[in-house]
Structure 1
Amino acid sequence: MLKIEDLHVYYGGIHALKGINMEVPENKIVTLVGANGAGKSTTLRAVSSLVLPSQGKITFRGEDITRAKTADIVRKGITLVPEGRRIFANLTVLENLNMGAFARNDKEEIKKDIQRIYEMFPRLKEREWQAAGTLSGGEQQMLAIGRALMSRPTLLMMDEPSLGLAPLLVKEVFRIIKEIYSQGMTILLIEQNATAALQVADYGYVLETGNIVLQGPGKELAANDEVKRAYLGKA
């Protein structure tokens, strides 16, 4: 579904991605694991055209999207749940969800999708008219995921969805990821909780300073001694 070839990204003089190659097959969960600064978020930002690569190619369902506009990438079916949630704090829950459907004009279907989001996240329904900035961290993450789903993506990219959440809420986030996946969604996941990410992923890539150094089925990487030492906090 998504293919990245020889991707290089620079931030000024910093070479953030050094020619990475990876694929995200349809109806799979793929995760990127690595330390802070490894290039994980940069990869998602490059797919979304929030940063432009200096070299390389990104294709989605066979179409070159390397330098497409971000809004057009959303229309093609790729949506990002950004790190830190980035909800619109001064808008209500409902207004945030409607913002997620900015590229759509099928009003009746948008209403149906909002109801589906409320079924998935009942807390959001209870707080429909509340300013999003007054929600708890967990509720804001639910809203960020719900807002992303409002564009009806076929590929959902998630950047650190459990960051800063209490352990019980982390479990809830991973339950939601599994639920979304079970409905036929393809997911590209970055997650600080490498153990949980590799357990849920069909396939994983390990990034170090802009290079992919390991790859394989998620559970195999979770059992890999090198990965355990570096990322899972195990000897």
Structure 2
Amino acid sequence: MKTYTVNRIEESTLNINGLGNSTPWKTAELLTDFIAPWDLEFKPKVAFKALWDVNNFYFCFHVEDQEVYLNTTDDSIESIGSSDRVELFFRKDKDLNPYYCLEMDSSARLMDFKAKAGKVFDFDWNWSKHGIELKSNVNANGYTLEGVVSISVLKELKLLYNSQLEVGIFAAKFKLTNETQRHPIWMSWVHPQVTEPNFHQPLTFGSLILKG
């Protein structure tokens, strides 16, 4: 299983602003080895980093893209689900029973849900009820998405144990192919080892080790 080290920072020293440029971020490891397993000619320009303190788990994505797509029809699941976005899946165990999904677009809209193996989704469950903060920024070169969730919630959901989180880290790009159609390009930190696009399976997860 691939691993990423989450460095510890002093309590309450990181305030997210959507830019990912607060001083504590300088101490974070940078994860950039994303792949597009079903579009091998596409070279992802995605960077992820994470930090933690006694109260919170912080994460930040930066996506280089000069044509960020946001479906602004409404704020529905369908609109978020057809927008460029970044994603974190947290699993309780390798059986995916259950796992919890955060899908976040460039405007910090959130599609969050609880799931079980076989793509059994429960959209009545919301991470926002347990506490989450997201901020983002879009510019000519791409977008940044920052988030924070509480350590207590990760423990309550039995996602954090032995100072480790098992997490899938993903991104989606809806690339314009003609005047009216867009092709989804799916990007992942871990190669999913399947021939058809599917992040909702055990082989897409890696281990985040909380150090310190």
Whether these two folds match at TM > 0.5 is: no
Richer in strand (by share): 2
Structure with the higher helix share, 1 or 2: 1
Q: Normalising to structure 2: TM-score of the pair?
A: 0.29
